[in-house]
Structure 1
């Protein structure tokens, strides 16, 4: 704890902290990989009063195991996820065709292309980071880091994912090409310097440059500087360089031949010519083998020794030139054993590493050595130390190629899944990468899918109308117009893509609760239906009806105006719970009744009111409210909106309320009407119903005067 600022306790005082009755507690963030550390009370110990008020022990320390990706790293993670997705599509297609990916040429060819895509992204990021340009923020990883990823993935591709048919051919040319691409020697600057000299052999870098150019198979550079030796004062060296030049230029390479047999024949003939050059070299008198700068004969002897494929010369010369075991291996496969295959490399490299072990402090070199030795599990362990991105994507490829075990261990995870999940933990440091994180997690079996569910349920939906951000305002407006947009749309899309239906419903339930809190009842109903959350729908209906009770019919009618489309969808939904459908239907019809009443369409309002009672849409608890709202229509002096049959129905409902209330069911019939009164008491509710009874009595009297009552009577009179 001394590393915490301010310190939780002083160094060497941990025992004192423990005796204080405090313990160190930890809380994990539900949104990312951050944790909060803080001192909390030990329930088994009674704390002294001063400890309770100690400010140093009220501090909360936030920590995280990974730094969140910055701009260049975020682009790298995002772009390479596209390749990962293509790899998962390839896996899925292979399962559908019931083929082994490692043995199917189509799959191997596709994986070869995907590894090249990974390599190119590493290369592009390396180039980008190496540019000297103004940046909005410092680079999180250097160009050197991405260069290491570039070399490791390209070596993996060369050794383990060759084109179909190339896995059993000699590997020397490909190995040398990989070495030349990633470890450039000799450098262009050295060549430019030497070519500018009139007598380049007098420069101390000439012979190392020429030797390395020959060793690396750089025939153009080799022949150019061999040609400059035609001006050397020694006629012996002039003659030798003349014979050496075509040998270097015409060195047979496998890619130049259509059949390996033709390559082997050409290689034998070429070696015969090298033997002839050796005879010429040995005939040079010893007293003329040096000039005033260098023992040129010894240098030529080294070059010829390499062309001859002499093992001890190859090792010695490469080491003298500053090369390592990788360079010795490549030169060995080109000059010593030209027929060596990929499967034979581990034995060769094992012997070389005994003499030239890899640098344990250089993770790149350690990863390379594990790849050459054919130890995939070691490769992944070391790659994780270099970059978890590398380990995760190599593991994904390795499992498809049957290089690592596909069986789960005691934790019910395969080796691939271990590294993918570790990479997902890294991505969780940036909550903005949630969708990519979910894509990776869902490729890791049931455990990964469960982890993906937790991520999806914790994505901030940003449904509340923001105060400042214009873009978010637009997103919020689109959602409130009924359009699935923004983060909510992305979460739904991710759930559909990965078949996480339970999570999709949970997210819709969360959205419904948010909209209900904001009185967006139409949206709340819509998302409850999408979530098939019938209990939640019931809560929304209750909240809607509460608007009528607390704010009156005008605001209620306005609040429920947008719910009718959701009701139509719900009535067509076979899985919908009938009880909640009827409750919602009543809320909508009740709002329509008040909308018509408030807008002056009283005849239709009366029809709505009677229909709700006759069709038993209205719950019994709301009968008293409907009857109370009918008073205005019953007392209208200009028109009669109810038939005698309608009035009789109203009277029957009123009588049932009175009878059942007197029998002890007042709460069931009068509670809601009572809440709409000033005191909220049962007595006032009964007074309101007396007004209804009086209005109905007068209405009947009016019907008796006219005839039979209502619309039928009016029509007869006319």
Structure 2
């Protein structure tokens, strides 16, 4: 049990802590799997009316169920996720073709390939962790751990995902190959040491080495050391070893034959030759069976007994050599029952395990025994104790093969989904793995998708202005501000599109829009509100933009809205856009363009902007008074005539409507914006400004009548 530093309370003083009117509380992190544990006031004490004094100091202890993956583990998790994705593609294709994976040879062949990919990644990680070169950081899992994953996945592939057409063939040779790969005995070093001796049979390791080489099918080593016995002093042993050499080297193997029938015939003939050696062995006189170092006859008797397929000999020899039930099983399937098939293994292994049970403290051994016994569900439960990665990926392959139950339990998750979700909970220790977590969760039905939504909505988008982060992050942020999706924001959007999480995508866009609006990046805020189809949010952006005019005047307003025109063009081309908010945005943009032209001296175009906004009813009525006040400068611009008499008449009509409606009780609707731009912020001052507008319009209209202006010509042009 972990020790808290500093301790929350001393050992043996829990009663004192309870009497202190405090309790232990915890809060889960919304971003990863960590929890914060701390002492807090007991709510039961507070509800009883007692005054619980707050603790003088609050120590917060952060804890998590798993350690976050370090470099080697992160690479392993990331690389194997590619195979997982390929497996999901295979399942998706099978559903589209309406085929059962467990009965389709194409699918089974693909699954065999994917299982081999998993095995190879486990092997590569094991080799990486076994290097003599010290790693840049301490390894999170040892090479031994990845060896166990390699061994377990290899056995699963051998027993449950064979190549199509090999499901019902004898399995002995494959089991022996698996045993030799994962449990190497005898070792090369032992063979080298013995071969360097002049009389190796005098060494205590000679006969155990030779026996194991023969039962493991190491024909070259076996033949070499049998030939070495030609130098032995016993002429009987000379002859017996010469007869054994061809038996060992010519032992029939299934892969050597195109048909199982031919293999069976060859095996029967080979067994007849073994009987001949047995007859010769039994003829050796009792007094010639020892050489002063070893009873060579007893050793040879065990070897011949195994070649004969005697069950009792196989068991006791393997035990004497230090082997366990796995070795007995492989030797049994090669020598005792060479035609045994996969489906028959559980019966054989069950009997063996009664005599040689697996080590319950060795999780690897327990997982392997469950696989041998044909108990996939038990194997998954034990695999989860060994490594949740193993359980998740085994379950993902077991379900389409109909090895485990596909029906949801009371939690509405299938067995496969339980293990995949558990694996995702483990990966949540590293928030940087959010993409992989989402990919896995979205394969777990509605519950998994809802969990993926929560992960996506909590990914930090890193949209704030660059501070002290990396150059790459700064570049991504700069690209985002140029209107390009980049960095985390782009990846989150891509993940939402890939997994059809439209509601989450809109939420993420809404969050991005709020960030941009806070930083007055109105063009980007509009783009993301539109992408989120949040028209109310779009309306808030327009209000914020127009507030800039009210608070800071036309120059800053024109600058802040300058980059919004492209967004407006995109919006107008989209049929889904909400018309009310689009018209408000159109007004904000056109109003900014008007001031931009006015401030740059392009007064004729500025005048055209005002008239078109009024005539096309783009400008809201609440802003009419503001537009009319901004027109005064154009009306009083010396001899320049920017409006026709028709334009001036239309402006007068708008002014009259404002006065009439205001006098009828709608002053707030027509004058509130203009009032905010005045020093006092009152309606009286706003009306005073409109009197100035009325006078300017009257003079302008009179000037039009005197000089006969009918179009947009200047006085100078008339003369």
TM-score by length of 1: 0.98
- The change in CA–CA distance for 1:23 and 1:50 in structure 2 (over 3 A counts) is closer
Deviation at 1:661, TM superposition (A): 1.4
- 5 Å-filtered alignment, 1:129-140, equals 129-140=129-140
Aligned to 1:352: 352
- 1:715 CA drift (Å): 8.9
Structure 1 position 695 matched with structure 2 position 696: yes
1:651/1:696 contact within 8 Å kept: yes
SS at match of 1:66: coil
2:96 matched to which residue of 1?
Answer: 96
2-structure distance, mates of 1:565, 1:291: 99
SS of 2:233's equivalent?
coil
Give me the whole-angstrom Cα distance separating, in 2, the residues matched to 1:44 and 1:363. 44
Identify if the C-alpha distance between structure 1 residues 684 and 160 changes in structure 2 by more than 3 Å, giving closer, same or farther.
Answer: same
Residue by residue, what CA displacement relative to the aligned partner does 1:611-641 show, whole Å, maximum 9, x if unpaired?
1111110011111111111111111113011
Which stretch has the larger CA shift, 676-685 or 700-709?
Answer: 700-709
Q: Return the alpha-carbon distance in structure 2 between the equivalents of residues 189 and 533 of structure 1.
A: 72
Q: CA deviation at 1:696?
A: 1.4
CA shift, 1:714, in A, is 4.6
Residue number in structure 1 paired with 2:53: 51
The 8 Å contact of residues 706 and 713 in structure 1, kept in 2 or not, is answered as no
Distance 1:438 1:625 in 2: 51
1:205-262 CA-to-partner distances (Å, cap 9, x unmatched) read 0000000000101000000000000000111111110111111111111111111111
The 3-state SS of whatever aligns with 1:346 is helix
1:301 corresponds to which residue?
Answer: 301
CA distance in 2, matches of 1:585, 1:23: 58
Aligned residues of 2:639 and 2:715 also touching (Cα < 8 A)? no
Counterpart-to-counterpart distance in 1, 2:358 and 2:717: 110
Find the aligned partners of 1:192 and 1:71 in 2 and give their Cα distance.
Answer: 38
Q: Secondary structure at the match of 2:101?
A: coil
User: In structure 1, how many angstroms separate the alpha carbons of the residues matched to 2:164 and 2:89?
Assistant: 20
Q: Distance in 1 between matches of 2:718 and 2:44?
A: 90
CA contact (8 A) 1:2 1:10 kept: no
SS at match of 2:23: strand
Q: Which runs of 5+ in 2 are unaligned?
A: none
Q: 1:711 matched to which residue of 2?
A: 712
Partner residue in 2 for 1:71: 71
Question: For residues 613 and 292 of structure 1, what CA distance do their matches in structure 2 show?
Answer: 120
Query: Counterpart of 1:37 in 2: which secondary structure?
Result: strand
Per mean C-alpha deviation after superposition, the further-off stretch among 302-311 and 693-702 is: 693-702
Structure 1, residues 111-142: CA drift from partner, whole Å, max 9, x if none?
00000000000000000000011322100000
Q: Aligned-pair distance for 1:324?
A: 0.2
Q: CA separation in 1, counterparts of 2:45 and 2:671?
A: 54
Checking the alignment, whether the CA contact within 8 Å between 2:675 and 2:685 is kept in structure 1 is yes
Is 1:31–2:31 an aligned residue pair? yes
Q: CA deviation at 1:709?
A: 6.2
Total equivalences in the alignment? 716
Separation in 2, partners of 1:134, 1:262: 52
Measured at CA, do residues 273 and 644 of structure 1 come closer, stay the same or move farther in structure 2, by a change above 3 Å? same
Distance 1:26 1:64 in 2: 12
In the alignment, what sits opposite 2:490?
A: 489
1:178 aligns with 2:183: no
Partner of 2:403: 403
Gap regions ≥5 residues in structure 1: none
Residues 1:382 and 2:382 are matched in the alignment: yes
What's the CA shift string for 1:577-598, capped at 9, x where partnerless?
Answer: 1100100000000010001001
Query: Aligned residue for 1:649?
Result: 650
- Give the match for residue 417 of structure 1: 417
Kept in 2, the 8 Å contact 1:2–1:9? The answer is no
Query: Contact conserved, 2:81 with 2:436, CA < 8 A, in 1?
Result: yes
**Matched residue, 2:337:** 337
Secondary structure of 1:36's counterpart equals strand
CA distance in 2, matches of 1:247, 1:516: 84
Give the aligned partner of residue 613 of structure 1.
Answer: 614
Once the two structures are TM-superposed, the CA of residue 452 in structure 1 deviates from its matched residue by 0.7
Residue pairs, 1:311-710, within 5 angstroms: 311-468=311-468, 469-708=470-709
8 A contact 1:194–1:206 mirrored in 2: yes
Give SS of 1:45's match. Answer: helix
8 Å CA contact 1:512–1:523 kept in 2: the answer is yes
- What is the rounded CA distance, in whole Å, between the counterparts of 1:356 and 1:490 in structure 2? 53
2: CA distance between counterparts of 1:7 and 1:680?
Answer: 62
- What is the alpha-carbon distance in structure 1 between the residues aligned to residue 685 and residue 10 of structure 2? 70
- Output the CA distance in 2 between the equivalents of 1:13 and 1:679: 69
Deviation at 1:33, TM superposition (A): 1.0
Where does structure 1 differ by over 6 angstroms across 4 or more consecutive aligned residues? 47-50
Q: Is the 8 A contact 2:83 2:118 kept in 1?
A: yes
Partner residue in 2 for 1:268: 268
TM-superposition CA deviations, 1:674-709 (whole Å, max 9, x none): 111122222221222122122112222322332246
User: Cα offset for 1:273?
Assistant: 0.7
> What RMSD, in angstroms, separates the aligned Cα atoms of the two structures?
1.5
User: What is the rounded CA distance, in whole Å, between the counterparts of 1:240 and 1:651 in structure 2?
Assistant: 126
Indicate the larger mover: 104-113 or 637-646. Answer: 637-646
Contact 1:677–1:685, Cα closer than 8 Å, also in 2: yes
Structure-1 separation of matches of 2:571 and 2:252: 77
Cα separation, 1, equivalents of 2:163 and 2:156: 13
Query: Which has the larger displacement, 560-569 or 219-228?
Result: 560-569
Shift, 1:716, TM fit: 8.2
Mapping for residues 11-26 of structure 1, pairs under 5 Å:
11-26=11-26
Question: Hey, what's the Cα distance between the residues in 2 that align with 1:437 and 1:321?
Answer: 46
Counterpart mapping for 1:243-258 below 5 A: 243-258=243-258
CA distance in 2, matches of 1:348, 1:572: 72
Q: Distance in 2 between matches of 1:296 and 1:641?
A: 122
SS of equivalent residue, structure 1 residue 561: coil
Q: Tell me the equivalent position of 1:290.
A: 290
The secondary structure found in structure 1 opposite 2:712 is helix
> 1:66 offset after TM fit, Å?
1.1
Match of 2:278 in 1: 278
How far is 1:35 from its partner?
1.3
Contact 2:41 2:52 in 1 (8 A): no
The 8 Å contact of residues 703 and 710 in structure 1, kept in 2 or not, is answered as no
Q: Deviations over 1:242-292 (max 9, x none)?
A: 111111111111111111111111111111111110110011010010011
Give the match's secondary structure for 2:297: helix
Instruction: Label 1:362 to 1:81 Cα distance change in 2 as closer, same or farther (>3 A).
Output: same
Q: CA deviation at 1:343?
A: 0.6
Cα distance between partner residues in 2 of 1:511 and 1:461: 8
Asked if 2 retains the 8 angstrom alpha-carbon contact of 1:707 and 1:713, the reply is no
Instruction: Tell me if 1:80 matches 2:108.
Output: no
Distance 2:363 2:714 in 1: 99
Q: Is the 8 A contact 1:2 1:8 kept in 2?
A: no
The answer on whether the counterparts of 2:639 and 2:716 sit within 8 Å (CA) in structure 1 is: no
Give the Cα separation in 1 of the matches to 2:50 and 2:677: 54
Name the CA distance, whole Å, in 2 between partners of 1:150 and 1:422.
21
State the partner residue of 1:201: 201
In the TM superposition, residue 310 of structure 1 has moved relative to its aligned partner by: 0.6
Give the distance between the partners of 2:401 and 2:691, measured in 1 at CA: 85
Q: Verify the 8 A CA contact 2:639 2:714 in the aligned structure 1.
A: no
What's the CA shift for 1:41?
Answer: 3.2
| TM-aligned CA deviation for residue 651 of structure 1 | 1.3
TM-score normalised by L of structure 2: 0.97
How far apart are 1:44 and its partner, in Å? Answer: 4.9
Give deviations 1:41-86, integer Å, cap 9, x for gaps. 344534877831421xx22221111111100000000000000000
Kept in 1, the 8 Å contact 2:367–2:382? The answer is yes
Stretch of structure 1 that moved more, 66-75 or 690-699: 690-699
Supply the distance in 2 between the matched residues of 1:209 and 1:39 (Cα, whole angstroms). 63
Question: Equivalents in 1 of 2:145, 2:545: separation in Å?
Answer: 59
